[in-house]
């Protein structure tokens, strides 16, 4: 049987799955991403995650057909290297992640961009399955994206899909990328947290940071936002409303340009908030759609927390020539 591993390498966690030839999950494991020790420490933790997931699946890591890894940063699939993985600790220089994992575990390793593999998984196995064109909007720490046209991933010259850095307001809010008015400046979790902190300094009352501390977090995670919304926290509601409005404008502009059949909302916040918020984004798109009579489907991602890892496992399917080489991504 064609049993493979997929690994989603994130800023906070490493998720590994073992899948069969139907992409059904046979075993999984999750490890925290190490904060120290740089790329070698992260590679060691991936090895542990793959071993644990293999054990859960009842297979030997050495017997896996291949291992796929979805990584942030500048991923060179053919060289097996990752550089400038900003969400990961001390990962600026080129690191040969693929070869180091092969040395430790045995099987061949395929690397891809984390957002692209997650969008691919939704297209092939999740919410995008009925369609031949879609845009994935990955709403998390940043706002990433991926484009599928005529059943194929559209990579442009290597940097396509950066919907988070489409401009929703001229001379608008400062984006973590350094520019102004990007969608991510309004909707990215990092940008929203920075704004929430500024509002607190200005005297606004919010439970966001109380909930964060109560949950033992140091950042406003998707779960913290969700709980604050459930309580009707005014600052949280206002910031999320602002994010939804910006996502609506950005997604509608992309649809005006590409006329895709579906928008799939994924990422940490998108997955957590689910279809009710996908519906709100659909509504926020309406005033901006050039052909409002025929809006695209707007759907929450269906594969949940495992989407990234399953998408990484898809990298290991035949035709390795299709493994893309990516330039640096500004968000993930
Ligand atoms: Zn930007």
> Which pLDDT tens digit goes with each residue over 97-111?
999 999 999 999 999
CA 29–ligand 1 middle distance (angstroms)? 33
What separation in Å is there between the alpha carbon of 332 and the centre of ligand 1?
Answer: 12
Please tell me the distance between residue 104's alpha carbon and the centre of ligand 1 in angstroms: 38
The alpha carbon of 266 and the centre of ligand 1 are apart by a number of angstroms equal to 19
For residue 146, give Cα distances in angstroms to 35, 44, 115: 28, 29, 7
- Could you report the per-residue pLDDT of 140-154, keeping only the tens digit for each? 989 999 999 999 999
Which residues of the chain, if any, have pLDDT below 50?
Answer: 320-326, 328-332
Distance 8 CA to ligand 1 centre (A): 24
pTM of the model as a whole: 0.89
* Cα–ligand 1 centroid distance for 223 (angstroms): 24
Residue 250 C-alpha to ligand 1 middle, in angstroms? Answer: 12
- In the reported structure, the alpha carbon of residue 144 is separated from the centroid of ligand 1 by a whole-number distance in angstroms of 10
The residue to which tokens 């035709």 are assigned: 319
Which stretches within the chain are classed as H helix?
38-57, 97-105, 114-125, 183-187, 189-201, 208-214, 222-230, 234-258, 267-285, 307-314
Measured in Å, residue 148 CA sits from the centre of ligand 1 at 22
Q: What is the C-alpha separation between 17 and 24, in angstroms, rounded? A: 10
177 CA distance to ligand 1 centroid (A)?
A: 4
d(CA 15, CA 2): 20
Instruction: Provide CB contacts within 8 A for 322, sequence distance 6+.
Output: none
How many angstroms does the Cα of residue 249 sit away from the middle of ligand 1? Answer: 15
What is each CA distance from 125 to 111, 172, 261, in whole angstroms? 19, 37, 16
Distance 138 CA to ligand 1 centre (A): 14
Which of the 8 DSSP states describes residue 287?
Answer: G
Adjacent-strand bridge partners of 14: 9, 31
Distance 143 CA to ligand 1 centre (A): 9
Q: How far is the CA of 173 from the centre of ligand 1 (A)?
A: 10
């Amino acid at each position: 049987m064609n049993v493979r591993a997929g690994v989603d390498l994130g800023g906070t966690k490493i998720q590994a799955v073992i899948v069969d030839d139907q992409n059904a999950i046979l075993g999984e494991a999750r490890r925290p991403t190490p904060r120290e020790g740089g790329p070698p420490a992260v590679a060691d933790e991936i090895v542990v995650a793959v071993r644990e997931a293999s054990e859960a699946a009842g297979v030997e890591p050495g017997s896996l057909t291949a291992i796929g890894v979805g990584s942030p940063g500048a991923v060179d699939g053919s060289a097996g290297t990752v550089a400038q993985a900003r969400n990961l600790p001390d990962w600026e220089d080129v690191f040969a992640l693929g070869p180091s994992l092969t040395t430790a575990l045995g099987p061949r390793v395929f690397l891809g961009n984390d957002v692209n593999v997650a969008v691919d998984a939704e297209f092939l196995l999740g919410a995008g399955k009925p369609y031949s064109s879609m845009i994935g909007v990955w709403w998390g720490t940043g706002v990433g994206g991926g484009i599928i046209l005529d059943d194929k991933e559209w990579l442009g010259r290597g940097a396509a899909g950066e919907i988070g850095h489409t401009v929703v307001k001229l001379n608008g809010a400062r984006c973590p990328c350094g520019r102004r008015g990007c969608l991510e400046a309004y909707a990215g979790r990092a940008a929203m947290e920075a704004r929430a902190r500024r509002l607190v300094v200005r005297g606004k009352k919010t439970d966001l940071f109380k909930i964060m501390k109560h949950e033992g977090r140091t950042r406003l995670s998707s779960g913290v936002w969700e709980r604050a919304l459930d309580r009707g926290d005014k600052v949280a509601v206002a910031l999320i409303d602002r994010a939804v409005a910006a996502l609506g404008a950005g997604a509608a502009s992309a649809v005006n340009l590409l006329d895709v059949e579906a928008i799939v909302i994924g990422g940490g916040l998108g997955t957590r908030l689910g279809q009710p918020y996908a519906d709100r984004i659909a509504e926020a798109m309406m005033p901006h759609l050039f052909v409002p009579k025929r809006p695209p489907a707007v759907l929450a991602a269906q594969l949940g927390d495992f989407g990234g890892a399953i998408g990484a496992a898809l990298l290991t399917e035949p035709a390795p020539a299709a493994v893309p080489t990516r330039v640096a991504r500004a968000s993930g």
